[in-house]
Amino acid sequence: MHYVEIVAMLVVAQFLFFGAMVGRARGKYGVKAPAVTGNEGFERVYRVQMNTLELMVALLPSMLIAARFWPAEWVAGIGVVYLIGRFIYWRAYVSAPASRALGFGLSMLPVMVLLLMALAGAILR
């Protein structure tokens, strides 16, 4: 089974889910496109999507490169931690932004670990 590719596509699916939540929030809070401000509830949902996009730019290439040098199960497992972290981040940010630290940590740490794994693999092999 192609664990890394499955996790990579789940990361993309999660991002699309967050995008759908932004669309739903537009209707709920009456924020018409292209506006991205105007209601704090909407802005929280929107920031989750944008923050996720910012991390995906680092996560996906790091994950795919790390998988060239390290066991796919390890790399995919670290990617799953990221996915869980993003869901925790989403729930926390939407309900109480000050409580988002756990989700942020569980998202950022896997990105950093995979980046270091990718670099170490490329340098040492």
Q: Which domain holds residue 109?
A: 3-120
Given this model, what pLDDT does residue 1 score?
Answer: 84
Given this model, what pLDDT does residue 24 score?
Answer: 98
Number of domains in the chain: 1
User: Under a CB-based contact definition with an 8 Å cutoff, are residues 92 and 103 in contact?
Assistant: yes
Domain containing residue 106: CATH number:
1.20.120.550
User: Under a CB-based contact definition with an 8 Å cutoff, are residues 62 and 11 in contact?
Assistant: no
Residue 38 lies in a domain: yes
Residue 99 lies in a domain: yes
User: What pTM does this model have?
Assistant: 0.96
Residue 125 lies in a domain: no
Q: Sign of the C-alpha dihedral, residues 58, 64, 70, 71?
A: positive
Given this model, what pLDDT does residue 125 score?
Answer: 86
Residue-wise pLDDT tens for the chain (125 aa)?
A: 899 999 999 999 999 999 999 999 999 999 999 999 999 999 999 999 999 999 999 999 999 999 999 999 999 999 999 999 999 999 999 999 999 999 999 999 999 999 999 999 999 98
